[in-house]
Chains A and B, each alone.
Chain A
Amino acid sequence: MIQVEGLTKLFGPVLAVDDITFQVSQGEIVGFLGPNGAGKTTTMRILTSYLPATSGRVRVAGHDVLTESMEVRRSIGYLPESVPLYPEMRVEEYLDYRCKLKGVDRKQRQGRIDYCLDHCRIREVRRRLIGTLSKGYRQRVGLADTLVHDPAILILDEPTAGLDPLQIRETLTLIRELGDKHTILLSTHILSEVEAVCRRVIIISAGQIGLDKKMSELAAEATVIQLEVRGPAEQVANMLRATDGVSYVAPQVLADGIVAFEIRTQQNRDLRESISQRIAKNGWVIRQLDLRRRKLEDHFIDVVMRDDGAHAGAKSASRTPSLQAPVASFPVTGQNERPIG
C-alpha cells in the first residue's frame, strides 16, 4: 500500500530524511518510531503529498505521490501532530464539512458521520464548539475526521501526544480496532504504545532507518541470561562455556570481586537452573540470575546511539547510556568493554 524507495528530503542544507526505503502492506499496523527530529513528521508529510521529496519515489495506494496526488489524498486520512481544527465550528458541523470536502456521497454522509461519532466516542460533544473541547476530545475529533471518508490508509502523527493515561489506552484500543479494516502508519516516540498496538516497527534516527522488523521477529530474538557471581572470573567463564547448550559467554568484571556474565544459549533454551546448580556445586555465590528478552527500548537506544556514533565520531567516547545492565548490539569480547556508541 505504501512503497517508499530512496526517499531523501533536504530543507536547504539540512538533511531531514536520508535515503530511506520501506514498505507497508495492506492491513498492517506499522509503528514509525524515532527520537524527536528524526524525520518522522517530514516523511509523513511527504507521504500525504503536502511536501515534495528532494529525491526518491513514493507510491501510496498504487499512486505516485508527486504526479497523482489527488488520488493519493482520496485514499488517505491524515492526522497531524498538532491536530489543527477550526475552533469556531461545532463538531458535527466540522465533520459534515469534511465529508463534503472529501466527496462523501450525500446518502451515505449521515451514516458515516454517525459511525465516526460512535467509534471515536464524541457523540456527547457533537454540538459543542471545537474551541471549548479538551485535548483528548480534540484528538478524537481529529481522528474522526480522518475516518470520515473511509480511507484505505490512515497516517497518524503522534496520535496520543498529550493525552492522559486512560485516554491513551482508549485511543490505542481504537487504533487496534481500526487496524482490522485499514492500513495504519502511526508515528510516536513512546515505545509501550508501539509494543501494544503495532505488528511492525520501523525505527528512524537522524533521517535514516535503523530497524525495520516485525514485532514477532523481535520477540523471537535471542534471550540473554544475566548472571552475577562472586568468584574467579576465568574459571567461572570456562565452566559456563563448557555447559551444555551455552553458545556464547561474555564476562565483565565489576567491583568487589563480582563478575557479571552475559550468556546466550542455543535455541533460546532456559538454562538458568542448570547454571545455578553448577555454580553452587563449585561453591561460588550467585548474586543475580535473570532471563532478559531484549526490549524494544534496547533496540531503540541501539539505533539512536549507533547513528550518533556514526555522525559524531569524536563525541562517542563521552556518551554512555544511563542503563543498569550493559547493553550490546554486537557480541563484545574482552574486559572493560563499553557499548559501541
Chain B
Amino acid sequence: MSSKAVSERSEQESAPGGRRPNRETAPSVIKADDPTLARWLAFVGLMLATLGLVALVAWTRYGASRISPFWGSLFVISGLALLLFHAAVDSDVQIRRVYGVFGYALAAVAILFAVIPFGERPAGALFVPWGLVSLVMALLFLLPFARNETEGRWHQTVLMVIGVVGLALAAVGFIGGSISETFLLGGTAAIPYGLLLIVLGLAYLWAYLGLEGTNSAIGYRAGMAIGAAGALVFLIAFGRSVVPPLFHWLGWLRTNPQPYFVPTGLVLVTCGFLYAALAIGLFSESRFIVLFRRELSAFFYSPIAYIVLFGFLVVSWVLFAMFVADLEKPFGEPTPEPIISNYLLNFFPIICLIFAVPVLTMRLLSEEHRTGTFEVLVTAPVGETLVVLSKFLAALTFYMLIWLPWGLCAIALRVEGQQPFEYRPLLIFYLMQLCTGAGFVSMGLFFSSLTRNQIVSAILTFMGMLLLTLPYWIIKIVQSGGAGASSWAPFVTHISYINLWVNSIYFGQITPKFYVFFISAAVFWLFLSVKVLESRHWR
C-alpha cells in the first residue's frame, strides 16, 4: 500500500572533469518501513478522541455521563497525541493531506470563534479558551503536514497560511496590548488575551521561519521583518515606561505619570525581546549566536535534559496540588499575601536543584575534551571566550526553562481561580532565578572545564552547590543558638541564596545589591573557565 518500501540507491552521474565515479559500496540501503504501527495507533487514537469528546460534550450539555470529565479529557488528549504521531510518521499523500485539511479546518474554527457571536454571548467570548485551543491544535497538525508535503503548490499554501495567521495574531496582540492594559493582561475577567495572542503568534511565526528555512531569501527577509517588529515593540514599551518618569524627575512633566513598567511595560518589553530574540536566534550569522544555537540544541539531544525537565515538572505539579489544597481548605485561616510564596518557596525544588545543576553542566566542556571536538572547535577561527560564553548562555537558558512550570501553574491558578492575587513576586522569582542560576551554571561550567571526566566535574559542582546551600542552615543554627548578632551573620545572609529568595518574595522589592554577589560570582567563574581553556597556550 505504501509507495515507499525501498528507496532507490542513486547511481553517481559522471562528474564534470571526467573523474571516474567509483561505485558506492556503502551506505546501507535505507528501507522505509510501512507505517503499519502508526496507522493502528492512529485508529486507536481516533477512537479515544471521539469517545473523550462525546463524554465531554455530554458533561457540558447534559451534566451526566458514564465517563468522568477527567477521563474524558485524558482520552481526548491521548487520542490527539496518537493522531499527531501518525501525522508525523506517515507521509502518504492522502493521509498527510487529510491532516492538512483538518489543520486548516481547526484554524477556520478558531477564526469563527473570534468573530461570530454564540447565543447571547458577544463575538469572541468563547475565543478563550476554545479558539486558542483550536489554534494550537491547528498548528500542531499543520506542522507535520508542511514537513511531509513535497508538492509545490500545497507546500506554499500551508506555509503562507501559517505565516499569515502568525502575523495576524502577533499584530492584534501587540497593537491591542499597547493600547489597553486590560486587553493585554486581563482585568477582572483575568484572561490575558493580548499575552496569549502574542505567545501564540510567536509559535506560529517560529514554525513559519523554521519551515521556510534560514537559507532561503524570503525566509531571511521575513525573519528580519519579525526581528525589526520585535525590536520596535521593545523600544516603544521601554520608552513609555522610562521616558515619562524621567521627564517627571527632570521636572518637565508636572503630574506624576502612571506607572507603566509593571506590569504592562514589562510584559511588552519581554515579548518584544522574545520576537527579536527569535529572529536573531534563527538568522544571525554571528559566531556567538551560531555556537549558542548549537549548544542549546545539544541539550535537547541528550536524555538527561528531558529527565531533569520532567522531574521539575512533576515537582511543580505536586507542589501546586498541595498549594491549591491548602488554599481550598474550608475552615483554615485565610492565607496572607503574597499567597504565591507558599508555592514558590519550598525545599523540595532546592534539593532537586542541588542535583540538577551538576547534571546539566557536567558534560559542557568535559565531553568536548574527551572526544577531541574541542581541538576542532578552537582550530576554527573561534576564541575561547566565545566558546565559554555560548555554553554558559545555553546552559542558563535551559536552567530558566526548568523553572517554567511554576509560572504556568501560577497563570492557571489565576485563570481557574478567577481571583486576582499578587503575582509580582512571580516576576521577582524569575529575576532571582536568572541571577542565582547564572552563578550556579557558571560554577558548573568551570568545573567541567577542568577535567575530561564528566563524573568528576559533576561531583565538584555538587559539592559547590552544597556549599552554597549551607549558609541558610548556618544562619538558622546561629540565630536559634541565641548567641546574639554575630558579625558573620550579614555576610552569610548575603551569600545564602535561599535567604535571598525568601526575602525577595516576601518583601517584593528588587534590591540590586543582593544580586551583585551572584552576578559577580558568575563573571568570576566564567573568567576562570576562559583562563583554564587558554592555559594550553602556556604549557
- B483 lies within 8 A of chain A by Cβ: no
Inside 8 A of B26's CB, which chain A residues have their CB? Answer: 134, 136-137
Q: Are B379 and A78 in contact (CB under 8 A)?
A: yes
Which residues of chain A from 70 to 85 have a CB within 8 Å of any chain B CB?
70, 73-74, 76, 78, 80, 82, 84-85
- B376 lies within 8 A of chain A by Cβ: yes
- A57 lies within 8 A of chain B by Cβ: no
- B333 lies within 8 A of chain A by Cβ: no
Q: Are B371 and A84 in contact (CB under 8 A)?
A: yes
- A51 lies within 8 A of chain B by Cβ: yes
- B381 lies within 8 A of chain A by Cβ: yes
Q: Are B379 and A110 in contact (CB under 8 A)?
A: no
A124 and B23 alpha carbons, distance in the complex (Å): 12
- Shortest Cβ distance from B208 into chain A, in angstroms? 19
Q: Are A125 and B27 in contact (CB under 8 A)?
A: yes
- B157 lies within 8 A of chain A by Cβ: no
- B151 lies within 8 A of chain A by Cβ: no
Inside 8 A of B503's CB, which chain A residues have their CB? Answer: none
- A102 lies within 8 A of chain B by Cβ: yes
Which residues of chain A from 99 to 137 have a CB within 8 Å of any chain B CB?
100-103, 106, 109-110, 118, 121, 124-125, 128, 133-134, 136-137
Q: Are A97 and B375 in contact (CB under 8 A)?
A: no
- Shortest Cβ distance from A228 into chain B, in angstroms? 44
Q: Are A121 and B24 in contact (CB under 8 A)?
A: yes
- Shortest Cβ distance from B308 into chain A, in angstroms? 17
Looking at the complex, which of B109-117, B290-298, B354-362 is the stretch in contact with chain A? B290-298
Inside 8 A of B12's CB, which chain A residues have their CB? Answer: 121
A97 and B285 alpha carbons, distance in the complex (Å): 10
Which residues of chain A from 9 to 27 have a CB within 8 Å of any chain B CB?
11
- B257 lies within 8 A of chain A by Cβ: no
- A86 lies within 8 A of chain B by Cβ: yes
Inside 8 A of B298's CB, which chain A residues have their CB? Answer: 86, 88
Inside 8 A of B372's CB, which chain A residues have their CB? Answer: 80, 82, 84
Inside 8 A of A49's CB, which chain B residues have their CB? Answer: 379
Number of contacting residues on B, CB 8 A? Answer: 35
Known: A50-B375, A98-B380. A106 touches B285 (CB 8 A): yes
Among residues of A, the one whose C-beta sits closest to the C-beta of B294 is: A97
Inside 8 A of B381's CB, which chain A residues have their CB? Answer: 70, 73-74, 101-103
- B536 lies within 8 A of chain A by Cβ: yes
Inside 8 A of B15's CB, which chain A residues have their CB? Answer: 118
- B301 lies within 8 A of chain A by Cβ: yes
A51 and B215 alpha carbons, distance in the complex (Å): 36
Inside 8 A of A51's CB, which chain B residues have their CB? Answer: 536, 539
Q: Are B376 and A80 in contact (CB under 8 A)?
A: yes
0/1 string, B372-389, CB within 8 A of A gives 1: 110110111111000000
Inside 8 A of A86's CB, which chain B residues have their CB? Answer: 294, 298, 373
A52 and B534 alpha carbons, distance in the complex (Å): 11
Inside 8 A of A76's CB, which chain B residues have their CB? Answer: 379
- B188 lies within 8 A of chain A by Cβ: no
- B10 lies within 8 A of chain A by Cβ: yes
A80 and B377 alpha carbons, distance in the complex (Å): 11
- Shortest Cβ distance from B331 into chain A, in angstroms? 55
Inside 8 A of A125's CB, which chain B residues have their CB? Answer: 27
Q: Are B537 and A102 in contact (CB under 8 A)?
A: no
Inside 8 A of B302's CB, which chain A residues have their CB? Answer: 88
- A297 lies within 8 A of chain B by Cβ: no
Known: A86-B298, A118-B15. A48 touches B379 (CB 8 A): yes
Q: Are A73 and B19 in contact (CB under 8 A)?
A: no
- A166 lies within 8 A of chain B by Cβ: yes
- B22 lies within 8 A of chain A by Cβ: yes
A100 and B24 alpha carbons, distance in the complex (Å): 29
Among residues of A, the one whose C-beta sits closest to the C-beta of B9 is: A124
Inside 8 A of B382's CB, which chain A residues have their CB? Answer: 101
Instruction: Pick the most buried of B22, B302, B372, B376: most chain A CB atoms within 10 A of its CB.
Output: B376
- A170 lies within 8 A of chain B by Cβ: yes
- A177 lies within 8 A of chain B by Cβ: yes
- Shortest Cβ distance from A65 into chain B, in angstroms? 11
A245 and B287 alpha carbons, distance in the complex (Å): 68
Q: Are B537 and A85 in contact (CB under 8 A)?
A: no
- B25 lies within 8 A of chain A by Cβ: yes
0/1 string, B317-339, CB within 8 A of A gives 1: 00000000000000000000000
- Shortest Cβ distance from A323 into chain B, in angstroms? 35
Q: Are B10 and A103 in contact (CB under 8 A)?
A: no
Q: Are B291 and A101 in contact (CB under 8 A)?
A: yes
- B538 lies within 8 A of chain A by Cβ: yes
Which residues of chain B from 265 to 314 have a CB within 8 Å of any chain A CB?
285, 287, 290-291, 294, 298, 301-302
- Shortest Cβ distance from A93 into chain B, in angstroms? 9
Q: Are B376 and A84 in contact (CB under 8 A)?
A: yes
Q: Are B301 and A100 in contact (CB under 8 A)?
A: no
Among residues of B, the one whose C-beta sits closest to the C-beta of A134 is: B26
- Shortest Cβ distance from A51 into chain B, in angstroms? 7
Q: Are B287 and A103 in contact (CB under 8 A)?
A: yes
Inside 8 A of A97's CB, which chain B residues have their CB? Answer: 290, 294
Which residues of chain B from 357 to 411 have a CB within 8 Å of any chain A CB?
371-373, 375-376, 378-383
A85 and B26 alpha carbons, distance in the complex (Å): 20
A301 and B329 alpha carbons, distance in the complex (Å): 89
Inside 8 A of A124's CB, which chain B residues have their CB? Answer: 9-10, 24, 27
Inside 8 A of A85's CB, which chain B residues have their CB? Answer: 373, 376
- Shortest Cβ distance from A17 into chain B, in angstroms? 14
Q: Which 5 A-B pairs have the closest CB atoms?
A: A84-B372, A88-B301, A84-B373, A100-B290, A73-B381
Interface residues of A (CB under 8 A from B): 11, 45, 48-52, 70, 73-74, 76, 78, 80, 82, 84-86, 88-89, 97-98, 100-103, 106, 109-110, 118, 121, 124-125, 128, 133-134, 136-137, 145, 166, 170, 177
Known contacts A70-B383, A84-B376, then 14 further A-B pairs from the complex at CB < 8 Å, ordered by chain A residue? A78-B379, A82-B372, A84-B375, A86-B294, A86-B298, A88-B298, A88-B301, A101-B380, A101-B382, A106-B215, A106-B285, A118-B15, A166-B22, A170-B22
24 A-B contacts (beta carbon < 8 Å): A45-B375, A50-B375, A51-B536, A52-B537, A52-B538, A70-B383, A80-B372, A80-B375, A84-B373, A84-B375, A85-B373, A86-B298, A88-B298, A88-B301, A97-B294, A100-B287, A101-B381, A106-B215, A110-B215, A121-B24, A124-B9, A136-B26, A137-B27, A166-B22
